[in-house]
Amino acid sequence: MESIVAFVDGSTYGASVCDHAAWAAERLRVPVTLVHALGRPDASSAPADLSGNLKLGARRALLEKLAAHDAERAALAQERGRALLDDARARIIATADVEVRTRLRLGDPVQALEEIEREAGVRLIVIGKRGEDASPAMEHLGSNLDRLVRAADRPALITSRAFRPVGRVLLAFDGGASARRAVERIAESPMLRGAAVDVLTAGSGAAEGLASAAERLRAAGFEAGERRLDGPPEPAISTAVRDLGADMLVLGKSGHSRLHQLFVGSTTLGLMRSCQVPVLIFP
The predicted-structure confidence for 156-167, as pLDDT tens digits, reads as follows 999 998 999 999
Segment 227-247 shows an average pLDDT of 88
Average pLDDT rounded to a whole number, residues 231-241: 85
Q: pLDDT digits over 57-102, tens only?
A: 667 777 777 778 777 777 888 888 899 999 999 999 999 999 999 9
Tell me, yes or no, if the two domains 1-43+55-162 and 164-277 fold the same way: yes
- What CATH number matches the domain at 1-43+55-162, 2.40.37.20, 3.30.1380.10, 3.40.50.620, 3.50.50.60? 3.40.50.620
In this predicted structure, what is the pLDDT of residue 145? 74
Average pLDDT in the chain: 81
Query: Which pLDDT value is given to residue 171?
Result: 93
CATH superfamily of 164-277: HUPs (3.40.50.620)
Q: Give the global pTM.
A: 0.82
Ordered by start, the domain boundaries in the chain are: 1-43+55-162, 164-277
Phi then psi dihedrals of residue 203, to 5 deg:
120, -175
- Comparing C-alpha atoms, which of 128, 197, 135, 126 is closest to residue 168? 197
107 or 249: which leads in pLDDT: 249
Tens of pLDDT along 30-39? 999 999 988 7
- Rounded CA gap, 211 and 223, in Å? 13
| CA gap 228, 205 in Å, rounded | 9
